[in-house]
Amino acid sequence: MADHDHDHDQSQSQSHDPRRGGRKVRVAVVGASGYTGGEVIRLLLEHPGVELAFLSAERNAGATLGSVHPWLRNHPAAAGLKFRPLAELEEVDIAFGCLPTGALPEHLPLIAERARRVLNLGGDFRLRDQAEVEAYYPKTAKNPPIEDFAYYVPELSPSVPESRFISLPGCMAVTTIYALYPLFAASLIDPRVVVDAKTGSTGGGRGSGEPPAERSGNFRVHKLYGHRHAPEIGQAIAEFTGATMDLRFSTHSLDVARGIMVTAYTDLLPGVSPLDVKRAYAKAYVGKPFVRVRTAPKAPQDFPMLKAVVGSNVAEVAIAVRDGQCVAVAALDNLVKGAAGQAIQAMNLICGFDETAGLPTTAVSP
């Protein structure tokens, strides 16, 4: 990669600026035949500044885009697109990593050689504490990253990372982070927090073996303890607010294809008023186009709900305060704001596009 080698002599910010001379940003989607990969493609097909240069698949290598993701087959640009083995990866400006957790480390040297920047949607390199990596990502622990990954939440990270390697947050983790961040940032709550998260079936990826007939009409536990997003939430809250939390985090499986809803139960510190809480949420998300605080909700449909966010890159957040307690709720589409849309938002900021380019704010309903 001649141009890339030359770039190592330049400053970090210049060397990895993927947008060159106003030309389109060349993008690879690695793991493009899966659910998040398909969603990255769906959104990027409508993005004005991007060329879909390479789509990788493993079992689906050789297949056409329209045969694997029939919902994309009518886009005029879909006709010529095919999945190829990852070994054939071309030189690109940005690679979106959409591989199952545990699969990226072995492919990273190749991807790092051929992509200027890597935006990873998978969980492999989010956690910094080695003991936590070993406990929650044992496969990853055997393959330490060849370079450090920056953990990036566009609304909360202090700046756009300079690093070539960026980890986007986990879907249930970031829903919880959006719900809780203002309370910790303004030091309004006790560290002990109980979070109840519910997620749709696409959260498990396309390879999830659960028969639809068994998910249909059911509502069940996913994990009561030990979900790998729990340490990520603690790490992110500490990084963005300096607070240490004592988190109880349980997850449940919903009978919907898309969507996550999180309910977080917290105790306010003595003397904290409902107005303090309201102001903290307003301050945290002012000027953030994709985190919308529902102010003064009264009727059930005023609160965050899946039908207001699914299909969009919006996370909705709301709070209810009573008797020294605050219940915070947040909802988002796991495949958009929880994955593909979040990564494209990051790409927009890295490449100097408008933050909102190619990203929907309206939901698909009924």
Ligand X SMILES: NC(=O)c1ccc[n+]([C@@H]2O[C@H](COP(=O)([O-])OP(=O)(O)OC[C@H]3O[C@@H](n4cnc5c(N)ncnc54)[C@H](OP(=O)(O)O)[C@@H]3O)[C@@H](O)[C@H]2O)c1
Q: Take residue 335 and report the two structure tokens written for it.
A: 């495949």
Rank residues 334 and 345 by Cβ distance to ligand X and give the closer one.
334
**Order of all β-strands in the sheet with 325-332:** 220-223, 246-253, 189-199, 260-268, 325-332, 315-322, 291-293
Residues 6+ apart with CB under 8 A from 177: 153, 156, 169, 233, 236, 237, 240
Binding site for ligand X (CB under 6 A): 31-37, 57-60, 86, 98-101, 103, 121-123, 171, 202-203, 205-207, 334-335, 338-339
CB of 54 to ligand X, least distance (A): 13
Closest residue by Cα to residue 316 from 326, 305, 327:
305
Residue that the structure tokens 């690109």 belong to: 92
CB of 4 to ligand X, least distance (A): 22
Rank residues 99 and 280 by Cβ distance to ligand X and give the closer one.
99
Catalytic residue among 98, 171, 326, 351: 171
Rank residues 168 and 189 by Cβ distance to ligand X and give the closer one.
168
CB of 323 to ligand X, least distance (A): 36
The DSSP-derived string for 69-93 is -GGGTTSGGGTT-B-B-GGGPPPEE
CB of 174 to ligand X, least distance (A): 9
Cα(294)–Cα(122) distance, integer angstroms = 30
Rank residues 57 and 346 by Cβ distance to ligand X and give the closer one.
57
Closest residue by Cα to residue 83 from 68, 93, 97, 71:
68
Residues listed for the chain: 366
Single-letter code of the amino acid located at 327: V
Rank residues 59 and 142 by Cβ distance to ligand X and give the closer one.
59
First to last CA, the chain: 48
CB of 30 to ligand X, least distance (A): 7
Instruction: Judge whether 326 counts as a catalytic residue.
Output: no
- Which are the catalytic amino acids? 171
